[in-house]
Structure 1
Amino acid sequence: MLNTAVLGTGLLALDLVERIQASPHLGCGLVIGRTPQSMGMAQAARMGCATAAGGIGALADAGEAFDIVFDVTNAFAHPTHWAQLAKTDTTLIDLTPTSGGTLIVPAVNGHQAAAHRHIGLITCGGQASIPILHAITQHYFPDHVEMVATAASRSVGRASRLNLDEYIEATQSAIQQFTQAGTAKTMLNISPASPAPPFRVAMTIVAPGAEPGPVRELVESAATTVRALIPGYRLVSCAVTDDTVRVVVEVTATRNGMPTHAGNLEVISAAAIFAAEQHALARIPALEETSR
């Protein structure tokens, strides 16, 4: 079992803690927050986790080794976190909207996760859209790709709001990397609607030669693959008109303690645990050999 630490105490970080505790391959050794009296720190303690305040410095003060650290802070802090861990044996899984590390999307290149120690998960919009976009653009060359994500205001925390520019840049860059599109554009809407809407991602791909039947098959297959990891992932529509493909998906959170509108958080949390468990599974043969 790999020992992990979580940097952050928000709703997303606490969902990670719960997933770690439910994993047969991961253990939560420490949850780190900014201040000792926060609600998130208190909740982590009630969940049975050791807690510490003071940021990444608390890792060294903990007096134990961590195989994996999940960074659930913000894009401004992440480079410093990696700089401190780069010379160690710790794997850093980045849930902030930065472009650092090897970008992993489980439904596309998840098999590569175990080979890298600095893993970037792009953004919730990237995780929700790239499997669909990648599936289409493996068969039709895209001149242009657009992605518009809409998240409920209640599911977008303070750190995410501070990182909106980084969110757009990281998502747009990743879409171009995974699709090889000539140009790409990304937008994020934060909806104050009541009741809060589910996380929604609308994609537009300009791809000469795209045909309705084959495109639909590609999209449905990709959606099925994603749904195996994220049960609330749903294909809403798929249409092809004059070489333009339009696809809409919605993600409803299905986990206990997670509001149904917070599909954006569930998308990135599921990807993080997937990457961590790939590391654990890759080490099992070595661990079994050592124990003999």
Structure 2
Amino acid sequence: SAYVHRAAAPRYAAAGITAIDLTPAAIGPGVVPPANLRKHLDAPNVNMVTCGGQATIPIVYAVCRAVAEQGGTVPYAEIVASVASVSAGPGTRANIDEFTKTTARGVETIGGANRGKAIIILNPADPPMIMRDTIFCAIPEDADTDAIAASIRDVVAEVQTYVPGYRMLNEPQFDAPSLNSGGYAMVTTFVEVEGAGDYLPPYAGNLDIMTAAATKVGEEIAKQAAAISGGAR
């Protein structure tokens, strides 16, 4: 739980222990592997944002990256994360406010959008539905849609290297500017996250993507530490 990590973090720091935080406490910098994996490997406490953030911020990052290469910006990005209610334990339910705040902040600071918003839905369907996410990004009217779509596909492939069950449900959808979008063109991406089913049910992709991303970060921290240790000999 977020408040528990906030209480324990000073003890980790005093003991010289590197912490990989899977709660929304967000004491240290947020890390989403496709966006900023190598940027915070020296940080004593890194935050894995949220399950919704790990599933959606890579897409926001992909869009912002492509738009930036064209000299533009993404003024607004909104993500909607829908997870099976039975996969959300008491910790998740107690941290709903932190979830939305931490994810929205990650959409901005890691994804690159000027303004971000996050919504979580605990889906009570039975049988349980796997995690599904919708990502809306406002883009310039003259943005290169082919470049944006290619950037999204590249990032999806990168996430799949550590979360094989991560996939787009269809190609990114582009819409012309309208009053509903505040006068901006929009790109909408739909993804789903199916868990590996090793220890948790396949519908609990929201849990798998957090642990898989944390493992990826831990491996990179260990590689860097080993390289430094080897070079010092």
Structure 2 length as normaliser, TM-score?
0.88
1:84 aligned to 2:11? yes
Structure 2 equivalent of residue 241 of structure 1: 175
Equivalent position SS for 1:77: helix
> In 2, Cα distance between the equivalents of 1:106 and 1:212?
24
How much does 1:287 deviate? 4.4
Supply the RMSD in Å over aligned alpha carbons.
Answer: 1.6
1:257 aligned to 2:190? no
Number of aligned residue pairs: give it: 218
Which runs of 5 or more structure 2 residues have no equivalent in the other structure? 68-72, 177-184
> In 1, Cα distance between the equivalents of 2:147 and 2:205?
28
Deviations 1:56-95 (A, max 9, x none): xxxxxxxxxxxxxxxxxx0111111112222221001100
Structure 1 equivalent of residue 82 of structure 2: 150
Deviations 1:116-159 (A, max 9, x none): 11000000111111111111112321121100000001111110
> In 2, Cα distance between the equivalents of 1:98 and 1:196?
28
Match of 2:103 among 171, 190, 201: 171
Structure 2 equivalent of residue 40 of structure 1: none
Structure 1 equivalent of residue 61 of structure 2: 134
Quote the sequence identity (%): 29
Match of 2:33 among 96, 106, 122: 106
Structure 2 equivalent of residue 124 of structure 1: 51
Structure 1 length as normaliser, TM-score?
0.71
Aligned counterparts, 1:22-41, within 5 A: none
Q: Is this contact kept in 2: 1:124–1:264, CA < 8 A?
A: yes
Structure 1 equivalent of residue 148 of structure 2: 215
How much does 1:288 deviate? 4.4
Match of 1:202 among 131, 134, 138: 134
Which runs of 5 or more structure 1 residues have no equivalent in the other structure? 1-73
> In 2, Cα distance between the equivalents of 1:289 and 1:175?
37
Match of 1:96 among 9, 14, 23: 23
Structure 2 equivalent of residue 160 of structure 1: 92
How much does 1:255 deviate? 3.9
1:181 aligned to 2:109? no
1:270 aligned to 2:212? yes
Q: Is this contact kept in 1: 2:81–2:132, CA < 8 A?
A: yes
Equivalent position SS for 1:261: coil
Moved more, 255-264 or 109-118: 109-118
Equivalent position SS for 2:15: coil
Equivalent position SS for 1:102: coil
Change (3 A) 1:179 1:112: closer
**Where do 4+ consecutive residues of structure 1 move more than 6 Å?**
none
Report the residue type matching 2:213 in the other structure.
A
